[in-house]
Amino acid sequence: MKNIKYIILLFLFLTLVGCKQEYNLVVTDTSITEEFKITVDNNEDNLKRLNVKQYPLHANNDILYNKKITKNGKIISAIFNYIYKPYDFVNANSFNQCFKNKKVIVDDEKYYEFNFSDMMDCMYNYNMNINIITKNKVVSHNADKVKGNKYTWYLTDDNKDKFSIEIIIEKGTAKNILEQYKILTYVVVGIVSFGIILGVFIVIKKIRKNNKV
């Protein structure tokens, strides 16, 4: 009976009517945040399913996902998230219940490594974008798309049998946003200053040329 409590979130919301979903994993040096974004038709059945208790960890039956549900006309939007300490992520229900082959290295001093393949029948509908978001340096990956700090894999009913996620993230290499803005500011100031100096130089040259004439 205890295992009944571990009905994972993926099982739940992918049986919802009119469901659109996105999975995000935000990785930093000190935490790994798991987030499910779900949009479904606004009806009583979907609302009841969304309100079922959901557990992020298979090793702890007392912890629940943080949950926010909002209704907007014909649509229900729901966000489930949980912030893991890196060493706890090895117990995440999501990938443990959905992949036969899984490799999660979080205790290495230099790297995180996530490697998932050979999907099990854990979902009713496999059409989902899976995003890993990190400001750290990514050493290698097999993502379908990269935009800025977001690495995206497209999971579909057609590719589920060969679908895999592979990524190695270097620790201690997060880009400081303030530092980035400082560098950008220095570059802009440098370009503007150079333009002003060049403009002044051209004006002076023209004045001297006119005076000679």
Alpha-carbon span 171 to 192, nearest angstrom: 36
Helix%, strand%, coil% for the chain, nearest 5: 30, 40, 30
Q: For the chain, give the mean pLDDT.
A: 83
Write out pLDDT tens, residues 180-195. 545 555 555 567 666 6
Alpha-carbon span 45 to 31, nearest angstrom: 34
Backbone angles phi, psi at 144, to 5 degrees: -80, -25
* SS3 state at 89: helix
Q: Are strands 128-134 and 150-155 parallel, antiparallel or unpaired?
A: antiparallel
Alpha-carbon span 181 to 178, nearest angstrom: 5
Alpha-carbon span 95 to 98, nearest angstrom: 5
- The answer to whether 171 and 110 have CB atoms below 8 angstroms apart is yes
The two tokens of residue 66 are 């943080």
Q: Which of 13-17, 96-100, 150-154, 199-203 has the highest mean pLDDT?
A: 150-154
Predicted confidence (pLDDT) at residue 211 exceeds the cutoff of 60:
no
> Radius of gyration of the chain from Cα atoms?
25
Predicted confidence (pLDDT) at residue 155 exceeds the cutoff of 60:
yes
Q: Please report the pLDDT score of residue 51 as a whole number.
A: 85
Predicted confidence (pLDDT) at residue 7 exceeds the cutoff of 70:
no
Token pair 């009713």 in the structure block, residue: 124
- The answer to whether 16 and 49 have CB atoms below 8 angstroms apart is yes
Q: Find the mean pLDDT for residues 67-84.
A: 93
Write out pLDDT tens, residues 10-59. 555 555 656 788 999 999 999 999 999 988 899 888 888 888 888 899 88
